[in-house]
Amino acid sequence: MDLTQLRQFLAVAERGSLSQAAKMLNVSQPGLTRSMRRLEAELDAPLLRRRPRGVELTEAGVALQRHANAVQIQLADAAQEVAALTHRRDTLVRLGAGPSWLDPLLPKVVARAIARDPSLRIQVTTGQTDHLFNRLREGALDFVLAAIPEGPAVAGLQTVELTRDEVVVVARQGHPLTQRRQVSIETLAQARWVLAGPDMLLRRRLAALFASRGHQLPPPTVESDSTPFILSVIRDSDLLGISTRDILRGPAGQGIAALDVRDAAMSRSTGIVRRSKTALSVVAEHLIDAIERAAKAEAL
């Protein structure tokens, strides 16, 4: 028994005639008759009583009609609920943002977007890049603003570079190393650090710098996946860390200074990351366009 058979049965019950029901359903009468016989066979009960001028329901047929009508109502309710959810979803944009995007560019774009479209709803999830990419793959986010991994494209994701930012070693303002014109890798190898996890892009970049000079990055004294926490620890201690110029220029960078590390130019690309071959809602595409325009204007 399937939904098509139930709809056909209800049409027969409503019309009281196989021929009239067949016309209403735009199917052949012999085909409809065979379908009703299969339904009776599956239920092992007669549903229709043939009369000279049509059909009438048996006791089993009346019972099935009652339940089939309930199914029809439930299906209609489900369709309306899904349509309502879809309509609301079309006005909702779920994006992930790395720390460097949180101030000032993204808040300004969001403020302008919701001013233009009061029905727009935006959910912003923050965190480390790997976490955001996992959420993106799961479908929990529409797109992500974050550092773009170098090398082969991330499986199932496509990227658009918007900015390129300098990566720097940082310390609290007033730290003894900030008084030096330049700091060597040898000195940094003796320092204590607060860093994100070993799989995080900036930490991998720092470890590669140390390795290129024949040194190993010291194990961090403090490790965290929270950028605000890491910056707070740097601000309140003598631990060193790694950040970007963009972050230092914002409020999160107050009280923190970049060290001039000898021959240690590092940079990273950031931009939009989205699932490959996945269409986004119109409002999500509009928000992406606004972010791209704002990023280009800021770079001028």
Q: What token pair was written down for 78? A: 């489900």
Model pLDDT for residues 255-274, shown as the tens digit of each residue: 999 999 988 888 888 999 99
Give me the residues paired with residue 160 across strands: 272
* Per-residue pLDDT at 52: 85
Q: What token pair was written down for 137? A: 């793959």
With residue 117 as reference, give the H or E element that holds it: none
In contact, 247 and 212? CB cutoff 8 Å? no
Q: Is 160 helix (H, G, I), strand (E, B) or coil?
A: strand
* Per-residue pLDDT at 87: 60
* Per-residue pLDDT at 46: 95
Residue range 3-84, CATH number = 1.10.10.10
Parts of the chain with a pLDDT under 70: 77, 80-81, 83-90, 151-154, 299-300
Closest CA to 158 of 36, 16, 277: 277
Model pLDDT for residues 218-259, shown as the tens digit of each residue: 999 999 988 899 999 999 999 999 999 988 988 889 999 999
* Per-residue pLDDT at 152: 61
Q: How many helices (H) and strands (E) does the chain have?
A: 11, 11
* Per-residue pLDDT at 300: 54
Domain 92-299 has CATH 3.40.190.290: yes
Instruction: Give the angle subtended at the CA of 104 by the CAs of 201 and 175, to the nearest 5°.
Output: 60
